[in-house]
Structures are given as structure tokens and as C-alpha cells.
Amino acid sequence: MLLEDIQQYQNLELLAKQVVEGFITGMHRSPFHGFSVEFAEHRPYNPGESTRNIDWKLYARTDRIYTKRFEEETNLRCRIVLDLSGSMFFPEANLSKIKFSVLAAASICHLLQKQRDAFGLTTFSDCIKQQTPTRSSRAHLQEILNTLQPIWDLKKAPAQSEDTRIANSLEQIALTQHRRSLIVVFSDMFENQADDSHIWQAIQHLKHGKNEVIIFHIQHAPQELQFDFDNRPTRFIDTESGDQILLNPAEIKTAYLQQITEMDKKIKNQCLQYNVDFYPIDASKDFGQVLLPFYLKRMKMA
């Protein structure tokens, strides 16, 4: 399912459900295995109750019939981290990077709620904008969808775009998030500061808490990776600073492609060094490129 095929539909909840159901249909077995339970206590058996949870070993030792009581236990705690900085609203024609990320995040939350996993949402740009608790209820899913819906409804980039400050947000998450969680980051990894070492220090802080980290590196490949522009004077506008420059794309294409390739290679190497799962995502392609890696990581952790 491609973003361009569904952008005319506005109900994010319905779209997320369709994306997940389409993903599951394409797999040979359903991931909905239910949730785990944790033993809580014994209680006396009452005649007429189901014998399913009788502890027969205890009966053999005591000659009394007791049943086991269980408490529901979520399989996983997951935090979705969504970059809302100005560069994510590119290309302006269809806002495909942010639209793709919003629908992918909503689909993951829908999948987690089906499994009764706990999930939360953090949005950031120059600082954390919104941060929900980590819960597994249907009401909590609706709360997150209500948070994402206004972003999905946007027809153009906000008039006041904001800088990217990834490190500050990740540091705050590392301080507040439950240990041994799955942290899923949707970002184009464009940082305003030349030195990006602080980003990897923040990720190292997350890893120190025994968290698993997935970075979905969101890019619009035709324009950002292939620099596919018409061979004529074009005005380029920095979506975060507002700076503008008029030039012919053909004159800088070679230098640009070299720099973007080096940047991507650096990010991949850093992720490898810090044991972070890194997935380059083309926002012009299918959502399966997000859901399948996420599902496989979730199964591995479970």
C-alpha cells in the first residue's frame, strides 16, 4: 500500500487498521498470539468453575483443590519517537515524509494494541512537544490517534518550521522511559549542529538502560537521494531556517549526491557501532518496509 494511493482518505484510525490488516494478510501466519500472563496466587476452587486452572500438583501434595490466578502482563513496552521538525515536511507538494511517518507510527500502535503490548508516543522538533504515558488500552490508542490526526490532516508545512534537536529529546526519553523498552525513532536525521556526537551519546544513554533502539531513517528518495529535479533554475528553500537559494540542480548534483551518500554512510556506521537497528526508508514506497522489520524485532524481543 503506497502513501499516494491513500492520501485522499482522512480517517487515520481506519487507514492504520487497513495497513496492518494488509500487512498481516501478506504473511503466512498471524502475529496475534495474544498476551502473556504471570502467576499471581492460588485460591480455593469453587464447585462449578472451570477445571482449566486447577493446580493438580498442589492437589497431589495437599489433597485440596486450588486454582491458579494470573495477572495480565504486557509482552513489550514500546515508545514511538516522531520527528516533527521542518525538514520532515518535505517535499511540500505532498508532505510525504511526515505523512508516511505518521501513518507508520499509527499502524505500529494499532499492531501493538492488538497484542496488548504497552506503547507511548513522543513528538519532538527543537524540544519534546508531546509525550504520552506507556499503556496498552484501546482508549490509549485512541488518544495517540487523536494526537496524530491533526498532523495527518495538514495540507502544507506549518508557517513556522522548527529546528531539529534530536539529542535533547532522546536524552529526556532515556531519563523517563521504562528500562528494557523498544524505542522506535522516525526521523530524517537532519541535525542543525555540525557536530552530531551528542546524538550518539544520547543513544548510548538509551542503550545503557537495556533498551532496544530502531531508527527508521525517513527520506524521499527521488528528490533527496537521487536529486531528481528539472534541469532549469530552481529555488531551494531551507524548510527549517527559511534560507533560499536559486540555482540549476544539474550544476550541483554530483557534489550533492556525494555529500548525502557520505552522510548516510556515517549514520549507518554509527548505528552499527552502537548496536542500533537502522533501516533506510523511502517515503515513496510501501509501508511494509517499516512494519516487517518492526514485527521481526518485536518477535525477537518477545
Percent of the chain's residues with pLDDT above 70: 86
In three-state form (DSSP H/G/I as H, E/B as E, the rest C), the secondary structure along the chain is: CCHHHHCCCCCHHHHHHHHHHHHHHCCCCCCCCCCEEEEEEEEECCCCCCCCCECHHHHHHHCCCEEEEEEEECCCEEEEEEECCHHHHCCCCCCHHHHHHHHHHHHHHHHHHHCCCEEEEEEECCCEEEECCCECCHHHHHHHHHHHHHHHCCCCCCCCCCCCCHHHHHHHHHHHCCCCCEEEEEECCCCCCCCCHHHHHHHHHHHHCCCEEEEEEEECHHHHHCCCCCCCCEEEECCCCCCEEEECHHHHHHHHHHHHHHHHHHHHHHHHHCCCEEEEEECCCCCHHHHHHHHHHHHHHC
Backbone angles phi, psi at 108, to 5 degrees: -65, -45
- 57 with 196, same domain: the answer is no
Mean pLDDT across the chain, nearest whole number?
A: 85
pLDDT of residue 30: 46
Instruction: List, for residues 190-223, the tens digit of each pLDDT value.
Output: 876 667 888 999 999 999 989 999 999 999 999 8
Q: Which residue has the higher pLDDT, 159 or 157?
A: 157
- 69 with 81, same domain: the answer is no
Query: 288's torsion region: left (phi>0), alpha (psi -120 to 50) or beta?
Result: alpha
- 52 with 187, same domain: the answer is no
Instruction: List, for residues 283-295, the tens digit of each pLDDT value.
Output: 988 888 898 899 8
- 151 with 58, same domain: the answer is no
Q: Are 68 and 53 in contact (CB under 8 A)?
A: yes
Query: Is residue 259 scored above 50 in pLDDT?
Result: yes
pTM for this entry: 0.80
Averaged over 19-35, what is the pLDDT? Answer: 60
User: Domain containing 219 — which CATH number?
Assistant: 3.40.50.410
- 174 with 272, same domain: the answer is yes
Of the residues 15, 45, 73, the one at which a domain ends = 73
- 47 with 181, same domain: the answer is no
For residue 118, the enclosing domain spans 3-29+75-301
Instruction: List, for residues 97-150, the tens digit of each pLDDT value.
Output: 999 999 999 999 999 998 888 999 999 988 899 999 999 999 999 999 999 999
pLDDT of residue 188: 92
- 69 with 97, same domain: the answer is no
Neighbours of 248 (CB within 10 A): 13
- 150 with 225, same domain: the answer is yes
pLDDT of residue 216: 96
- 145 with 62, same domain: the answer is no
Amino acid code (one letter) for 151: I
- How many domains does the structure of the chain reveal? 2
- 48 with 128, same domain: the answer is no
Of the residues 73, 95, 128, the one at which a domain ends = 73
Of the residues 47, 73, 99, the one at which a domain ends = 73
pLDDT of residue 43: 84
- 47 with 194, same domain: the answer is no
Cα–Cα dist 141/139, whole Å:
5
- 150 with 58, same domain: the answer is no
